[in-house]
Amino acid sequence: MELILSKRPRENEPYLQLAVAENYGALCESASDMIAGCIIKGIVDNGRFVLGLCTGTPAPGVYRSLAMKDGIDWSCVHIFLLEEVLAGDMRGACLETLRNNFLRYVPIPGDNIHTPDSEGFTAAPQRFSAEYERSITDSGGLDLAVVTQSEKFGVSYVNRDTGFSDHCGVVGETDSGFIAAVPGIMTIARARKTVLLSAGKNRALGLKLFMTGTEDPARPVTLLRYCPDITVFAGHEAASLLRRL
């Protein structure tokens, strides 16, 4: 893993680190090492740790690697799923992905796992969005948010057509035609630390815009510049347009 950048780009901008991996395995191992270190330190300092998770590529591999780490008291970890498919054939797909790649391997108490209520969100999205957001706040806020870059300059299920809501859980229609609860920019921005995962050549332009551009609601990935402390773990293809920076 090659550390390309570690600085605060300009005054009042977030602390930003970029690490580029030559392959998928190296990306997953390096990202999971950082996440595990944050969790362990957070539990030592505060007795608990609140983790917000998205499940897009390459997150499943990162979570499988994280589940193998030693020294984590998982009973002190609280997880908030920041996205979910609420209707259609893929309903519940995000929780299923998290179960298959992470939750089945770690002893996190069921009461510590928080997910969007699909029936509640689709029936009364504004009310249930506010309640889900409040549950994150009541937990003490996110110590760490792990989000994934998607195509079309997006983050998670949020693309340039859906737009980026202020708060987690606002229902939006994805470009695949199904309804999803999506992470809100302010939900992520309030996290004490954010990890952005980016893999694949079709993410390269979006990642370059995030690293060099200005905030643009039509390009949700650029809004992550609001995060106070963000580390980007990128595959070499996703970072291919950054070599000349």
Q: Is the predicted pLDDT of residue 125 greater than 90, yes or no?
A: no
Amino acid sitting at position 114: H
Q: Is the predicted pLDDT of residue 130 greater than 90, yes or no?
A: no
Is the CB of residue 170 less than 8 Å from the CB of residue 181? yes
Amino acid sitting at position 19: A
How many other C-beta atoms are found inside a 10 Å radius of the C-beta of residue 201?
12
- pTM comes to 0.90
Mean pLDDT rounded to a whole number for the chain: 85
Q: Name every residue whose Cβ is closer than 8 Å to that of residue 24 and which is 6 or more positions away in sequence.
A: 58, 61, 199, 235
Percent of the chain beyond pLDDT 90? Answer: 50
Q: Is the predicted pLDDT of residue 64 greater than 90, yes or no?
A: yes
Instruction: From 85, 46, 52, 61, select the one nearest 181 (Cα to Cα).
Output: 85
What per-residue confidence (pLDDT) applies to 223? 83
Q: Name every residue whose Cβ is closer than 8 Å to that of residue 22 and which is 6 or more positions away in sequence.
A: 2, 236
Domains located in the chain, CATH noted: 2-237 (3.40.50.1360)
Instruction: From 200, 202, 205, 210, select the one nearest 232 (Cα to Cα).
Output: 210
Question: φ, ψ for residue 77 (rounded to 5)?
Answer: -100, 130
What per-residue confidence (pLDDT) applies to 81? 94
Q: Give the integer Cα–Cα distance in Å for 210 and 234.
A: 12
For the beta sheet containing 179-182, the strands, ordered from the edge strand earlier in sequence to the opposite edge, are 84-85, 179-182, 170-173
Dump pLDDT digits (tens) for 135-176.
999 999 999 999 999 876 777 766 554 555 667 776 666 666
Q: Name every residue whose Cβ is closer than 8 Å to that of residue 52 and which is 6 or more positions away in sequence.
A: 79, 80, 81, 82, 136, 142, 144, 145, 146, 183, 187, 188, 191
